[in-house]
Structure 1
Amino acid sequence: MIQAISVDMDGTFLDANSEYDHERFEEIYANLRQSGIKFIVASGNQYYQLKSFFPGKDHELFYVAENGAVIFHNNKLLSVNQFSNTLVEKILRTLTEDYQDLQVILCGVKSAYLLKKADPNFKEFARKYYFELKEVESFATLPDDTFIKFALDVAIHQTTQIVEQLNQTFQDDIRAVSSGHGSIDIILPGVTKGSAIKQLLTQWQVNPEQLLAFGDANNDLEMLQLTPHSYAMKESSEEVLATANNIAPSSNEAGVLAVIEHYLDDKSNTPTK
């Protein structure tokens, strides 16, 4: 029996307009609470942005943000995996010196940071996903924060190449992963949505086989590998489609809500590929 549900947001839970059917979700969520099923929001995005989608539920939901680097619950930081400042400085030098036309966000626990000289279109894009965002003159002096992730924006056709180059340059110090649509996240090795969710499941004494998980991009792979009840959205990356055991309707068809409703109605009958 399902005891926990984890959902990616962009391209999974949210539609193309970054919306979802609130009324339908509220009805589903009431049933989840009644059944004691925990709901995990698992995203590469910032905690302060994620919680804005679920007003009034901070004391109930669990947020695995920044691709597993942090876990928040009830407005409290439960777990953090951080880069050393020395490594942060080394990565920033490489990004600014070796790559042209690459936009960078330095993600901290308190806020995210970008350069004042960054492309105006990128700034507008960044404000959509980072509700706590500050502009700085330079990264030569690091802000007073704990750093957990780098978010990069690159030309879509360069994504795979840059991911491979970064992983080769820094070897075991970092892990670069595509999060879709020209976005690249640089995270610590072993820190993933999957590792953070596994930590929560262990605390709750919930077996991974009791997890229902949804994703669409490569930063969801470890989360989907946790459970046989894994769902790739219909419009997912090839790797996600190959990894997940099931396929859900697209995010524009409210695929996550449809599958959860199915489980609530008939837990013994799960659609497969």
Structure 2
Amino acid sequence: MTIPFKAVAVDMDGTFLNDKRSYDHDLFNQVLSKLEKNHIQFIVASGRPFARLKNDFPEFVDRIDFVTANGSRLIVEGKEVAIEGLTKKQAIDLINFVHNKYGSMATMVYGRKQAYIGTEAPEKDKVFLQYFAKESTELSDWQDLPDEVFIELTFHYDSKIANDIEKKFNERYGSIVTTFASSPVAIDVVKHGINKATGLKKLLAYFGLTGDDLIAFGDSGNDIPMLDFAKYSYAMENGMSIAKEHAKYLAPNNNDNGVLQVLNKYLNKN
């Protein structure tokens, strides 16, 4: 049987990772080796920045590629090949808008190599956000952000207001941002029009591939564009109902190596 896809894209939290934020390294090495023998690309498509993902895949980083920060930054063979983001002014305008309208909340801003978090955030919220950043600095004044491109902002708050933030901020400032419910308590914000599907489309073009060559796995709102884009789309058994509505198939639970189970079935039939 011929394997029907030439590239694999996986979300991290709730999908590739178990609830302890880890994965079976030995099993992944076995699956990755089989994919490599079949000339199939393995792509991590995550809301996480590359600084965090490098730490998640220390022994595999040179064997896989990355669509990071929900499509804002693409990494091939360890090198940045594309980046899209907000200016310092746009990032500050967004933070002020959200905090003034919905109340002060833990907020993180991601640059290329460094993330920034407000000092006023509760300690438990800082711990939550700083895990994803890997490298972060606390700021007491958002005006102290450096003048650079910011690939993503995360608000640690009920994700039900994500669409409201996007709609009302863009109504005031123009089409500037796209928002995602990356978890029930996290809202990711990127440049308008950027998502995992746009990032994957660009990255796949490097390999002469399209969405018809892709199998993708996800569990939450920020995975919807990717699931819609991939010809073979899987939502995790443990995933949000909205993700399941956009996937063609269901994968086993993330705590049961669901992604690797599905891939192994395809690979072992070949």
Could you tell me the TM-score, scaled by structure 1's length? 0.92
Question: Is contact 2:43-2:65 (8 Å) kept?
Answer: yes
Q: Using the alignment, how far apart are the partners of 2:35 and 2:93 within structure 1?
A: 45
1:164 aligns with 2:164: yes
Q: Which amino acid aligns with 1:17?
A: K
- The one-letter code sitting in structure 2 at the alignment partner of 1:124 is V
3-state SS, counterpart of residue 81 of structure 2: strand
CA deviation after TM superposition for structure 1 residue 252, in Å: 0.7
Q: How many residues align?
A: 264
Conserved? CA contact 1:58–1:73, under 8 Å? no
Does residue 205 of the first structure (1) align with residue 208 of the second (2)? yes
Bigger CA drift: 68-77 or 249-258?
68-77
Q: How big is each residue's C-alpha offset from its partner over 1:171-216, in whole Å with a ceiling of 9 and x where there is no partner?
A: 3221122111210011112111111111111221113221110000
Is 1:187–2:190 an aligned residue pair?
A: yes
Cα pair 1:105 1:113 within 8 Å, conserved = yes
Distance 1:126 1:243 in 2: 28
**Residues 162, 181 of structure 2: 8 Å contact kept:** no
Deviation of the 1:35 alpha carbon: 1.1
Q: What CA distance in whole angstroms lies between the structure 2 residues aligned with 1:180 and 1:202?
A: 29
Give how far 1:86 is off: 2.7
Letter in 2 for 1:53: D
Deviation at 1:84? 2.4
Aligned to 1:226: 229
Q: How far apart, in 2, do the equivalents of 1:263 and 1:117 lie?
A: 49
Hey, what does 2:48 align to over in structure 1? Answer: 45
Matched residue of 1:12: which SS?
helix
SS of 2:259 mapped into structure 1: helix
Q: Cα distance, 1:254 vs. partner?
A: 0.8
Pick from 108, 116, 125: which aligns with 2:111? Answer: 108
Aligned to 2:121: 118
Unpaired stretches in structure 1, ≥5 consecutive residues = 268-273
Paired amino acid for 2:160:
T
Q: Contact between 1:110 and 1:145, CA under 8 Å: does it hold in 2?
A: no
Aligned-pair distance for 1:5? 0.3
- State whether structure 2 residue 72 is matched by structure 1 residue 69: yes
RMSD: 1.5
Partner of 1:80: 83
2:20 aligned partner: 17
Alignment correspondent of 2:252 = 249
Q: Secondary structure at the match of 2:215?
A: strand
Structure 2 counterpart of 1:147, which letter? F
Aligned to 1:34: 37
1:162 CA drift (Å)? 4.8
Distance 1:56 1:251 in 2: 21
Please tell me the residue identity of whatever aligns with 1:27: Q
Q: 1:60 aligns with which of 50, 63, 69?
A: 63
Q: Structure 2: any 5+ residue segments left out of the alignment?
A: none
Give, as a single letter, the amino acid of the residue that structure 2 aligns with 1:242: E
How far off its partner does 1:56 sit? 2.8
2: distance between equivalents of 1:106 and 1:227?
29
